[in-house]
Structure 1
Amino acid sequence: MKNLLILTERIPFRRILTKNVKVGTNFKTQRCLASLVQKDARKNAEIDFTAEKYTHLQRNPNFSELTQEDISFFQKILPSNCLIIDKQDDLLPYNIDWMRKYRGKSRLVAKPQTTEQVSRLIEYCNGRKLAVVPQGGNTGLVGGGVPVFDEIIISTNNLNKIRSFDPLSGSLVCDSGCILENLDNYLAEQGYVMPLDLGAKGSCQIGGNVATNAGGLRFLRYGSLHGNVLGLEAVLPDGTILDNLATLRKDNTGYDLKQLFIGSEGTLGIVTGVSIQTPRRPKAVNVALVGLSSFENVQDAFIKAKEELSEILSAFEFWDASAVKLIKDHLVQGSRFPLEDNYPFYVLVESSGSNKVHDDEKLLCFLENLLEKDIAKNAIVAQDETQFRTIWSIREGIPEACSKAGSVYKYDVSMPLEFLYKMVEDVRCRFTDAGLYGEDLAVNSITGYGHVGDGNLHLNISAKSYAPEITALIEPWIYEWIEKHKGSISAEHGLGLMKAKYLGFSKSKSMIDMMKKIKQIVDPNGIMNPYKFISD
């Protein structure tokens, strides 16, 4: 602490004081956006149908259309409060994604309450060749969770029970429709934490997280769902219940079939139950906000974080000045931003451990070194829960701030860290050269933020409206850029409808052919989430 006090006299470094933070400041998160489609029926009704906007898509003629006989069957399986049939206003929230970019024409939403009901529904749909879209919290970003045409929606909203928890091993077994934040709150009472944290945690469901292999804010510390999911229960297209809700951490018997469903986006079946390994909740959590002059400084700071924080480093997030401008313009008007001066880049560093005194010392020493070496220009450390949440809410509020700036083109990609921000710069140059980028022009903001620890960039392009000339400037150019720099066109949001036809930019033909073979074997009628994931 003595070194820190000396340092503060030479280089701007200060802790957040309570008077500098407006208590009660509300940085809304992405979970609020997930409910927008339920609040404005008039605007929803004005959204173009996906099938009419994307004219290259053709309804599969092998699929049947819903009949009264089909409706009668569904009514025998489910009570009336678990069905929505031909009520357009009630169907809209399920037919439209929360970005208001995709809109389907489904006439029926089924909300089963048990795995057995899911099995009977899917078996019937398969026999009748009725196409199906599994849907969780509908917080996806690539059009994977809503219909393209008239597919039946199977919602997991009513599959929301925690089945068991073992406090000795930390294994949690739950229904797929459990909301992520509810699971985390439940585990907090047991002294554990979900290994996954997302901006949409208040609406997204664990089954959807598994189906898209969601990454999120804790990936750096706890890794991917491929490593944390112990077992799954899933209903196959023919109605077979694949019961693999194991809670063992080690099981070396046969093919690890659960891995096929993690990231399959509902194209192989519907996940109805999840068994997941949960870590102990850290006793000491600290968060710092750092201002930096360049993305090279961001990279240097990350290297230092790995060196000096190592086992307690739990998050390392970055965003640019453009993101802060949107935050100030749309979410915290009239409030004081934690760092008073403006910087080209910002980094959020979180540490999680078991000894607060030890962790505090390591974090402060790390920040001192960043400032002494001129890697960072300023830094603040949260001193209480309110300040902790304020700093995190800046990061979590970026998606909504981008949305408030206009219609957003969102790209979730990954690449070697050295190229991470170059994509943002190249996109800005591309739109500037086209005469479309500027405060009063078609594209008013191009923002980069994301997870430095796993090379995951979130590129948000905010425009006055979705327009063909803007899309044409982005796609497929952006995927060609990714291929050139040996990246992935999707880091954690999946492929859905948006990226299905671009899979070849990240996977070889032999890999794609194998995926198609698996799909054909498991779902020969192709009823599960058609037109998505793998393009024909």
Structure 2
Amino acid sequence: MSPRILLRTFQRISGLRFSSTKPAFTSDRYKVKRGPYARISNDHVAFFNELLGRNRVIADAEECEGYNIDYAKIVRGQSTLVLKPKTTEEVSTILKFCNENRLAVCPQSGNTGLVGGSVPVFDEIVISMKFMNKIIETNELAETNLGVLSSDEFFALGVLTCEAGCVLEDLDNHLGTVGLMMPIDLGAKGSCLIGGCVSTNAGGLRLLRYGNLHGNVLGLEAVKANGEVIDCLNTLKKNNTGYHLKHLFIGSEGTLGIVTKVAIQCPPLPKAVNVALLGLNSFEKVLKAFRLAKRELAEILSSFEMMDRRSIDISFTTFGMKSPLTSKTDGHDFYVLLETSGSNVNHDEEKLGSFVEKALADDIIEDGTLTSDPTKVKHIWALRERISEGVLREGYVFKYDISIPILSYYKVIEMIEERLRDPRVIRISGYGHLGDGNIHVQVSIPSYEPDIASQLEPFIFEYVSKLRGSVSAEHGIGFVKTKYLHMSRTSSEIKLMHEVKKMMDPNGILNPYKVLYPLEISA
């Protein structure tokens, strides 16, 4: 029986075997000590029932369980109370009450994070943002109306203002009706909420073209631990007045405040989108393809994704997806998914076609296909986007989101393979956003094993640190990377982070045990 058939058989079995398995409690697995917070009482629950109504307060243990376990099933909290506010005023009242009563809270958006930042560690109250899902305003740049726009209206165009609980894909679909698009695109776009994206400074598939959220969020509204509402909901693209306080909340993972509204600049929807899937036989040639793409496609290049064979095989074997390449060989060692976005169909197709021809002529790629057909584009992107979902069906997955210099990009996979020669390992694979140096490392095993964890950590983070890379490229620190923050930030930076946290949340009620834990909190 071939390895691929064996893997497919295992996945059919493990998909059933692990789908209902719950991870161990975070506090037990990681030996965490509970902070000096109050326990939830009947009086506390009664207050929230009065504020929100019983239908937006979940106090049933079984119903709470879904809010206690993260998407990747690596952490599990013990919360017995979930609150679902609909307005900023309700969030403000909740936090004011919790702060006065020393009740710890865990803000939660779509719960699609991969570092344990979106679920409780102990019995923190979960504040679910899913009901705050209104689009407040869309100011688009309509060419046909330019002659009648006032100067004030002009500067407000191309901006979406919405509540934090809006689903990313819903926002993108909405913007598509007025010729705009979200500047961020994630594999989890059908579930993740924009507030969570902002709070974690999520990266995604098109950061190469549109940049990260620090550059695209024009303004936001957030609620501090004491219930005070901070209105930074500016929609100007240029506003150089004083401290840019919005940046305190972008990427702070709910530890400084809860983001309730967002104003984000939205680029025009491209008139021409082309995708190429390339097959290559070495990582050295992947780098050559990237250099060629930067030179030949420059202004229209929007994504450059790399997948090794073991990564893309997840889509082939787990989901039965077909490769659009015509090669008769049994797969390639590496694959590149390249996307262009522009305004001229003929121009872009010609440039991409010329790029592929040069790559073939220079013996950089072995095979390739390119398309602008929306159905085929969607299929090719699905090969990349479903990797993260599919690998979770194999059991427990150690997932590492790191950024390192491009020349060392794939060496981390080779080093882990050399270090981890264990028959329990199902797969070691790597894929990611080569265009910005971000690789996702996956090590899947049937179930969590402490001895394998100790072989991987802190080894992988020490390797990244030596290269002056980042232990978290786009997923944040959350809970699982708190003790490795110092490998990417200096002691002076971390000291200032602690000082900011203490100033904005002196009782440490906001998302405790995350990012900066342990905190010095008075009992």
Q: TM-score normalized by structure 2?
A: 0.91
Structure 2: stretches of 5+ with no match in the other structure: 1-15, 142-156, 519-523
Superposition pairs of residues 48-127 of structure 1, within 5 angstroms: 48-55=24-31, 57-60=32-35, 62-85=36-59, 87-127=60-100
How much identity, in percent, do the aligned residues show? Answer: 50
Alignment CA distance shift 1:515-1:383 (3 Å): closer
SS at match of 1:190: coil
Which residue is equivalent to 1:162? 135
Deviations 1:43-85 (A, max 9, x none): 35x4321112111x1001x210001111111011102211101
Q: 357-366 vs 75-84, which deviates more?
A: 75-84
2:27 maps to amino acid: A
Q: In structure 2, what is the Cα distance between the partners aligned to 1:205 and 1:504?
A: 29
SS at match of 2:20: helix
Contact map agreement 1:326 1:405 (CA 8 A) in 2? no
Which residue is equivalent to 2:417? 428
Q: In structure 2, what is the Cα distance between the partners aligned to 1:257 and 1:485?
A: 31
Q: In structure 2, what is the Cα distance between the partners aligned to 1:302 and 1:483?
A: 25
Q: In structure 2, what is the Cα distance between the partners aligned to 1:455 and 1:163?
A: 35
Match of 1:366 among 339, 355, 367: 355
Structure 1: stretches of 5+ with no match in the other structure: 1-38
Alignment CA distance shift 1:388-1:163 (3 Å): same
Q: In structure 1, what is the Cα distance between the partners aligned to 2:342 and 2:23?
A: 47
Q: In structure 1, what is the Cα distance between the partners aligned to 2:176 and 2:17?
A: 35
Superposition pairs of residues 274-289 of structure 1, within 5 angstroms: 274-289=262-277
Superposition pairs of residues 412-427 of structure 1, within 5 angstroms: 412-427=401-416
2:165 maps to amino acid: G
Contact map agreement 1:214 1:225 (CA 8 A) in 2? yes
Contact map agreement 1:198 1:217 (CA 8 A) in 2? yes
Q: In structure 1, what is the Cα distance between the partners aligned to 2:507 and 2:274?
A: 51
Q: In structure 1, what is the Cα distance between the partners aligned to 2:399 and 2:233?
A: 34
> Offset at 1:42?
9.2
Contact map agreement 2:18 2:393 (CA 8 A) in 1? no
Superposition pairs of residues 12-411 of structure 1, within 5 angstroms: 43=20, 46-55=22-31, 57-60=32-35, 62-85=36-59, 87-168=60-141, 169-332=157-320, 335=322, 338-340=325-327, 341=329, 342-411=331-400
Contact map agreement 1:50 1:102 (CA 8 A) in 2? yes
Q: In structure 2, what is the Cα distance between the partners aligned to 1:224 and 1:302?
A: 20
Alignment CA distance shift 1:79-1:40 (3 Å): farther
Contact map agreement 1:132 1:529 (CA 8 A) in 2? yes
Contact map agreement 2:312 2:384 (CA 8 A) in 1? no
Q: 402-411 vs 114-123, which deviates more?
A: 402-411
Root-mean-square deviation (Å): 1.6
Contact map agreement 1:319 1:345 (CA 8 A) in 2? yes
1:93 maps to amino acid: G
Q: In structure 1, what is the Cα distance between the partners aligned to 2:409 and 2:353?
A: 27
Contact map agreement 1:326 1:402 (CA 8 A) in 2? yes
1:277 maps to amino acid: Q
Contact map agreement 2:273 2:372 (CA 8 A) in 1? no
Q: In structure 1, what is the Cα distance between the partners aligned to 2:445 and 2:185?
A: 28
Contact map agreement 2:325 2:367 (CA 8 A) in 1? no
Contact map agreement 1:41 1:89 (CA 8 A) in 2? no
SS at match of 2:58: strand
1:78 maps to amino acid: L
Contact map agreement 2:271 2:342 (CA 8 A) in 1? yes
How many residues of Structure 1 are paired with residues of Structure 2 in the alignment? Answer: 487
SS at match of 2:426: strand
SS at match of 2:133: coil
1:58 maps to amino acid: K
The higher-RCO structure (CA 8 Å, 6+ apart) is: 1
Which residue is equivalent to 2:153? none
Which residue is equivalent to 2:150? none
Q: In structure 2, what is the Cα distance between the partners aligned to 1:264 and 1:310?
A: 33
Which residue is equivalent to 1:3? none
Contact map agreement 1:245 1:273 (CA 8 A) in 2? yes
Deviations 1:278-321 (A, max 9, x none): 00000000000001111111111111111110110000000001
Contact map agreement 1:129 1:525 (CA 8 A) in 2? yes
Moved over 4 A (4+): 39-42
Alignment CA distance shift 1:505-1:339 (3 Å): farther
Contact map agreement 2:324 2:369 (CA 8 A) in 1? no
Superposition pairs of residues 450-489 of structure 1, within 5 angstroms: 450-489=432-471
Q: In structure 1, what is the Cα distance between the partners aligned to 2:203 and 2:429?
A: 20
Contact map agreement 1:134 1:529 (CA 8 A) in 2? yes
Q: In structure 1, what is the Cα distance between the partners aligned to 2:392 and 2:18?
A: 18
Q: TM-score normalized by structure 1?
A: 0.89
Q: In structure 2, what is the Cα distance between the partners aligned to 1:172 and 1:195?
A: 11
Which residue is equivalent to 1:22? none
SS at match of 1:273: strand
Contact map agreement 2:133 2:163 (CA 8 A) in 1? yes
Which residue is equivalent to 1:9? none
Q: In structure 2, what is the Cα distance between the partners aligned to 1:167 and 1:325?
A: 41
2:290 maps to amino acid: F
Q: In structure 1, what is the Cα distance between the partners aligned to 2:316 and 2:232?
A: 48
